[in-house]
Structures are given as C-alpha cells and as structure tokens.
Amino acid sequence: MPGIDECLLEAMALPGARGAALVDWSSGLALGTAGDSPVGDHETTAAETAELARAAAEYESFAPGESRAEAACAPGAEPGPGAAAGPPVEDLIVTTRTGYHVLRFVETSFDSSVFLHLWLDRADGNLALARHRLRTLAEGLVLR
C-alpha cells in the first residue's frame, strides 16, 4: 500500500498530469505535492481547492438519502440508505480551457478530511482514466 509520496508519483505517471497534491480540506494545507501548480505555488492551490472541496462535502444538496438536517433532528436515528460516514461526494471535476482538475476524496478509518487533487493538461489528459486511477490510489493510500 502506497504512502503519500508514492501515491502522488503514481498520479503523476498518468498521461497529461501536470501536478498532484494530497490536501486537507478542513485546513487548506497540502500534505504532499508533486509536479507543478496551476498558480506556481502549491500552498495557494491547496487552499483554493480546499474551499471547493469543503463546499461540496458540507452542502446538503450533495448528501445521499435524507438531508443532514433531518438526520440531526432524529435523536439516535440511523443514517438513511446509501449514507456514508465520509463526505457524500466521491470526486469533483473542474474543467478549464486548458485543463482538468480532479479532486478525489479519500476515505480513511479515522475521521479525515483529505482529498487527492490531480491537475491534467486538457490536450493530453484522459479524464476517464484519471478518475479510475485516482479512485484506486485513494483506496490504497496509507496515511501515516
């Protein structure tokens, strides 16, 4: 099972990969980076992508099953069908004129708030392959 550095190096091996990072969306800090940053600074990119990830992870519109407000009102109630312990979103894709940004949430056995961010060149990147590979990397990632 790969650690952070190995995981990011594997992500960078994807066709069209320009940069990759493991980001904590609650703090906006990059826990690891590889390659380039779209703005030239990995910490700025991590903070900006964390804002997007936090919004997607916390908005009720993206929650499967019953709303979080309904679940919070029912003391001792079990989560609805399909509800997961982690963020309700698996990944986010942002398409720009020159590239793709794929944010893949990482589920862990402890309460975590991390995601993998992959920046792909639009001309050379394969979005379907990137999503598939990031899912595999996220499932096998060992956080130490």
How far is the CA of 30 from the CAs of 46, 70, 116, in angstroms? 6, 34, 10
Residues 35-61 have a mean pLDDT of 93
pLDDT of 86 above 90? no
pLDDT of 98 above 90? yes
CA-nearest of 104, 120, 18 to 53 is 104
The CB-side HSE value for 14 (13 A sphere, CA atoms) comes to: 32
pLDDT band at 112 (very low <50, low <70, confident <90, very high): confident
By residue count, the chain amounts to 144
Per the CB < 8 A criterion, the answer to whether 116 and 94 are in contact is no
pTM of structure: 0.82
Distance CA(13)–CA(136), nearest Å, equals 14
Predicted pLDDT at 91: 93
Burial 65-83 (b: 16+ CB within 10 A, else e): ebebeebeeeeeeeeeeee
Predicted pLDDT at 81: 43
Range in 48-52, 57-61, 81-85, 132-136 the model is least confident about: 81-85
4-140 classified as CATH 1.10.3720.10? no
Q: Where are the domains of the chain?
A: 4-140
pLDDT of 78 above 70? no
pLDDT of 15 above 50? yes
144 bridge partner residues: none
Range in 18-22, 44-48, 106-110 the model is least confident about: 106-110
Structure tokens at 115: 């995601």
pLDDT tens figures, 125-140? 999 999 999 999 999 9
Q: In what order do the strands lie in the sheet with 114-121?
A: 29-35, 17-24, 114-121, 99-106, 91-95
Per the CB < 8 A criterion, the answer to whether 48 and 31 are in contact is no
